[in-house]
A and B are shown apart, each in its own frame.
Chain A
Amino acid sequence: MIELKDVSKRFVDHVVLDHIDFTVADGQTVALLGPSGVGKSVLLKHIIGLIKPDSGVVSVDGLHVASLKRKDLSHLRTRIGYVFQNGALFDSMDVQENIRLGITNEELYEDVTYCEARVKECLRLVNLQQEVALKFPSELSGGMRKRVGIARAIAGKPKYLLYDEPTSGLDPVNSDVIDGLVERLQDELGVTSVVVTHDVRGAFRVADRIALLWQAKIRAVGTPEEIVASKDSAVQQFLERDLEMALIQSESTDGSDV
């Protein structure tokens, strides 16, 4: 379980997170919605320990992330896959090596046969051709880079998957493909996921629960239906007309395989 209790974070004079409480139960997919620049990625980076909170507690599987020793933090991170907004692929390595680095078990990482098989499996899971394995990140399109980023994140068979804006910068078709992929991985791998996004339609499609981060606070949390029914002015302001469209989209694609 991922749990943030009373977490606050400020950068100089700018308060990004203000006494945040946020919980993700095992097996759930939670979408964290919010306008650009509100601090969604900052919250996600707290979960994996890339940023430490000024106050409050971030815990994963009962472990207090900020107070873990370096070795224990590294060990915890092997259970968490993180998909970065721009892929963050290692540009000096080909796709195969990028995905291989995601194999966090050192014994398996040294086993060339296992690594080759796992890279192939991960490429299959993210709907990429095997030939892509030998390409470098600079040779890939934006959508392919996102998918390689996802492949790297799942290579170590993590228990948790954290997606940082998986569809940002993509056209609607590619966004749908990525959303479908997130949905399918959830079904096939049974991971617990947090999807940070400002794409309302995507959030409604993939999430069991939705949280809205608004002006440094979690303004609303609930199932998609509860969010739709919310009378909160901020929720309504953020979702506007897109919300209804997203719900329709969510229902129409429910159960479909992309």
Chain B
Amino acid sequence: MARALTEWRIWVPRTFEQAVLVGYGSLFIVLLIAGFAGAVTSLQTGYQFSGQFPKYIAGGVITESVILELGPVLTGLILAGRIGARYAAELGTMRVTEQIDALESLGRSPMSHLLLPRCLAGIMVIPALVMFANFTGFGVGWYAAKSSLGISNADFIYGARFFFRSFDLWYSVIKSFFFACAVVLIPCYIGYNTQQGAEGVGRATTDAVVSASIAILMLDVLLTQILLTGSGQ
């Protein structure tokens, strides 16, 4: 790993290539899902709270739900499927077709050529995608609240600001960083160690997505316990 880091001429350009591939390529599906999540949260908030609480509460519930949970978790799970499957399948195929062995036989490091660029690209791009998801979920949720609940802009903003702490955004970033690690490290490890031909690649891809998804859910509970409950937020 240390040696690979010194080979920056190799991994820096490849990291940017990967970042564009996985970041730009994932943007549409991430925004789509965040938008729908924001809309559904808004509608369900209206269904549960209308007539019992002041309307501004909806602004707080929607904003906090999206930033604290839906944005990071849904984006993480989607990217576990999209990026995780891609990484596991790519590396798995390279392993079973001896491309990784070929790289090593040329005295080149698979770490700097393959693993480091993919891991760094994912870790850079996924938190950014989560932020885009948060803003989209928030925006669509706001629009849906205005349309279906009849909440005014002033009430929505008041509710959102009333419950919002700046730490919430940091919490979202911290969560997305850990989820990014799960999304890239687990599939890269499983893909890199693939065995037994096409069947092995299929198994590695499935295992990678399932393992990364489970890791995200477990990290979600753990980070909530440590960062929110534990810190008394």
Residues of A within 8 A of B (CB): 45, 48, 50, 70-71, 74-78, 80, 82, 84-86, 88-91, 101-102, 104, 110, 152, 156
Contact = CB atoms under 8 A, between A and B. Distances in A.
A40 to B, nearest CB: 15
Provide the main secondary structure of the chain B interface: helix
B97 A101 contact: no
Contacts of A45: 101
Given A70-B3, A71-B3, A101 B108 contact: yes
A74 B107 contact: yes
Given A70-B3, A71-B3, A84 B106 contact: no
Contact of A77 (B3, B98, B99, B105): B105
Contacts of A110: 9
Contact of A88 (B3, B97, B108, B109): B97
Given A70-B3, A71-B3, A84 B109 contact: no
A127 to B, nearest CB: 22
B102 interface: yes
Which of B97, B98, B101, B102 has most A Cβ within 10 Å? B102
Interface in B82-138: 94, 97-99, 101-109
**Which of the four size classes fits the interface of chain B?**
10 to 19
A30 B136 CA distance: 65
Nearest to A80: B105
A110 B109 CA distance: 17
B102 A84 contact: yes
Given A70-B3, A71-B3, A86-B97, A77 B102 contact: no
A34 B104 CA distance: 26
A76 B9 CA distance: 22
B105 A48 contact: yes
A88 B9 CA distance: 24
Contacts of B9: 110
B143 to A, nearest CB: 41
Contacts of B97: 86, 88, 91
A85 B102 CA distance: 11
B22 to A, nearest CB: 15
A192 B157 CA distance: 76
Contact of B99 (A76, A80, A91): A91
Interface string B199-211: 0000000000000
